[in-house]
Structure 1
Amino acid sequence: MMFQSLLYDHLDELMATYSSTMTSDIRLAIHAMLTCHTEQNGYSQWHCQHRTTFDWLEKQQRKLLPIDYFMVTFTLPAELRPLAKGFPKQIYQAMFTVSASIIKDFADRAKSMGETIGFTSVLHTHNRRRDLHPHIHMVVTGGGFDTNKRQWIHCKNQYLFNAFALANVWRARLLSHITDTLKLTIPRQLPPKWVVDCRHVGRGKSALLYLSKYLYRGVLADNDILYEDNGNITFRYLDSQTKTYQTRTLPVVRFLWLILQHVLPKGLRRVRDYGLLRGHSKHQLQQIQFAFMIAGQLTLPALEDKPISRKADYFCPCCHHLMRCLGVFRPR
């Protein structure tokens, strides 16, 4: 059962129920979904190309270092989610800006790290049940490069930063940014303690393999939509606690709106690199990799050339691996 088909069949009811709360970006997304694979837009043919990892993993292997990696997750509290619904571009941009500034400042003050670290931030807007739950997953190098000594400084004892300290600063800075910079009104009742998770996720390539499943995934795959019955849709999700699949059933229109609320504002970059992982730091990163290679601690994997040059990621709905474009056909 495809989301596009459900959207087409229940469009009138969806618009009647949620039109007043739809952003222009959601309206554009609906139009794009409804005209996809139709004569209006032409069509393309794709062939499933089974690869062992997603495109993100292949890209990150070119930046691989034989070091510990950490995943830091900054979560927007439930009380501020209405602001994210009303001002998604401003709030999501603020989350990127503030979380990046926090990691940079903590790294600058850490005595056990070098001057320059690297990290990649990825925005997710949903939890496993697909409710609105904005958070940023951040992949951070376990250490940094000391430009004076020209050597890599490793984190000690698989420890990056104190999660409670990160959470306190996250709360103070984000609220300040929302009120002082964005000039938005925040709710009176806010939790005194916010959540930032900081955990060690492995070393080298094994860490990247672990992280790849978190970072690049759609909101809901078509094969997770199980069935429609009496005007309700049932879909499955993997429970984080039990590691087993659970199901959730909603009226069709409510289900459509549940998914559509995760449409990102036009022009918002969901993935961003910082520090050593930025494109501008490519030369410095290659020098660090070369030093590890000379020490016999790093061998970069041989990577295949890209089958196509593409502006967007397309993955097989069955195996979720990269697909090759066989051609684009325009209407006459």
Structure 2
Amino acid sequence: MAHCALEVADVFRSLGPGWHQSVNLSLGQLKVVSAIEQCRSAALGGHVLRCEGCAAIEVAYNSCRNRHCPKCQAAAARRWLEARQADLLPVEYYHVVFTLPAAISEIAYYNKAVIYGLLFDMAAETLRTIAADPKHLGAQIGATLVLHTWGSALTHHPHVHGIVPGGGLSPDRSRWVACRPGFFLPVRVLSRLFRRRFLEELEAVYHRGQLQFFGEHTELIDPGVFAKWLAPMRACEWVVYAKRPFAGPEAVLAYLSRYTHRVAISNQRLISLDERGVTFRWKDYRVDGRTRNKTMTLAANEFVRRFLLHVLPAGFHRIRHYGVLANPSRRENLSKIRALLHVALEAVDPDGDVSSCAAQPSFVCRHCGSPMIIIDMLQRSRPIRAPPPEQCHA
């Protein structure tokens, strides 16, 4: 495997072994740092491999498998996509995005599980409600939503990307109701309902005492101040948009491979690490309505601070399925839809993985392409874990 010249792990290491003791990090963030620093190193153990073709010997160190690690997500995305291939339907697919206003994004950082959860649920509810309305589609739809919490410059920018089949089941489940070609649902209607429902639920969780406020937002503890803070957001436009349909199922999978297991920044975007800090590539979407490719340099500690903004709460699912694609009934619903569309299902195994993928070797020689076999095991020297609680301020 090709090795990137610079990695996020190198930035962590450049701050020294005790840097985390001087900053306010949670145990979850410290565990992410530990995992990324040790990923594919001797600390985690590994395998000694021999090529069956050219007899080359190679050592492969184990991955940390942390979902925030830039080096581990390609394999995770590949496994997930193999399972998703069996779910694709021969219909148009649409890409929709729901974004939170900046003011709510600011309090979301201290209330990740609550507000990210609302973002998922209200986006899904909005899509399903408008689609079920006979004035628009009049059908039961499904959606796969993926949470991203970052902007290109590593700022905190929570939003969900949705992949939605262009149609759904009729209310009596007797026929497939297709969208108009090239058009999914009216964006303005989606935006207004999303705004109303999100703010209603945000008020509800506030009055149940489920929100925390710190720093400059401490005054929001007062209900009157909170109501005044919330008022402008009822009038501003919330960003919801839908892109043109994908060019076939292959394009859907290509998109998913880029988005489902993406982390805040990939190693490939890093350019240099020196006395000035970390230089990386980013995209500026605010110039003349066009995307501009730029570079940015941040001090190493600021780069790490921004990266760790995007560590998710333990157990929080960043990919979720709703409606007819919801996990409990997905297989049954997909079978029903295929029958209505007169489409035969390709042969897959009981878990939904495409059978042709099962014969792929785990390790392939980078010299001749032949399979490699494991001839020895290397034991890990220490587990991935955060420092003891007394070393953590959060």
TM-score range, shorter chain: 0.7 to 0.9
Aligned partner of 2:168 among 135, 144, 159: 144
CA distance in 2 between partners of 1:204 and 1:267 (Å)? 33
Query: What are the within-5 Å matches in structure 2 for residues 1-332 of structure 1?
Result: 1-11=6-16, 12-13=18-19, 15-16=21-22, 18-19=23-24, 22-37=25-40, 41-43=44-46, 45=60, 54-111=78-135, 113=137, 115-146=139-170, 148=172, 150-183=174-207, 184=211, 185=220, 186=226, 187-188=229-230, 189-190=232-233, 192-202=236-246, 204-209=248-253, 211-212=255-256, 213-239=258-284, 245-281=293-329, 282-293=331-342, 300=346, 303=354, 304-306=356-358, 329-331=378-380
CA distance in 1 between partners of 2:373 and 2:309 (Å)? 29
* Cα 1:211–1:81 shift into 2, 3 Å: same
Give 2:357's aligned amino acid.
D
Residues 213-269 of structure 1 show CA distances to partners (whole Å, capped at 9, x for unaligned) of 333322222122111122411011345565664211111110111111111111000
Residues 257-300 of structure 1 show CA distances to partners (whole Å, capped at 9, x for unaligned) of 11111111110000011122223220231232244345xxx775
Q: CA deviation at 1:96?
A: 1.0
Give 2:338's aligned amino acid.
Q
CA distance in 1 between partners of 2:136 and 2:251 (Å)? 21
* Cα 1:307–1:13 shift into 2, 3 Å: farther
Structure 1 residues without counterparts, runs of 5 or longer: 311-323
CA distance in 1 between partners of 2:194 and 2:328 (Å)? 27
What TM-score comes out, normalization by structure 2 length? 0.69
Give 1:23's aligned amino acid.
S
Residues paired across the two proteins, number: 311
Give 1:131's aligned amino acid.
T
* Cα 1:149–1:36 shift into 2, 3 Å: closer
Instruction: Tell me how large the CA RMSD over aligned residues is.
Output: 3.4
CA distance in 2 between partners of 1:243 and 1:325 (Å)? 46
The share of aligned pairs that are identical, in percent, is: 25
* Cα 1:306–1:114 shift into 2, 3 Å: farther
3-state SS of paired residue (1:219)? coil
What TM-score comes out, normalization by structure 1 length? 0.80
Residues 90-146 of structure 1 show CA distances to partners (whole Å, capped at 9, x for unaligned) of 111111111111112112213453542111010001122221111001111111112
CA contact 2:325–2:333 (8 Å) conserved in 1: no
* Cα 1:307–1:29 shift into 2, 3 Å: farther
Give 1:261's aligned amino acid.
L
CA contact 1:64–1:204 (8 Å) conserved in 2: no
CA distance in 2 between partners of 1:171 and 1:242 (Å)? 26
3-state SS of paired residue (2:244)? strand
CA contact 1:14–1:253 (8 Å) conserved in 2: no
Q: CA deviation at 1:38?
A: 5.2
CA distance in 1 between partners of 2:282 and 2:45 (Å)? 33
CA contact 1:112–1:153 (8 Å) conserved in 2: no
Larger radius of gyration: 2
3-state SS of paired residue (1:28)? helix
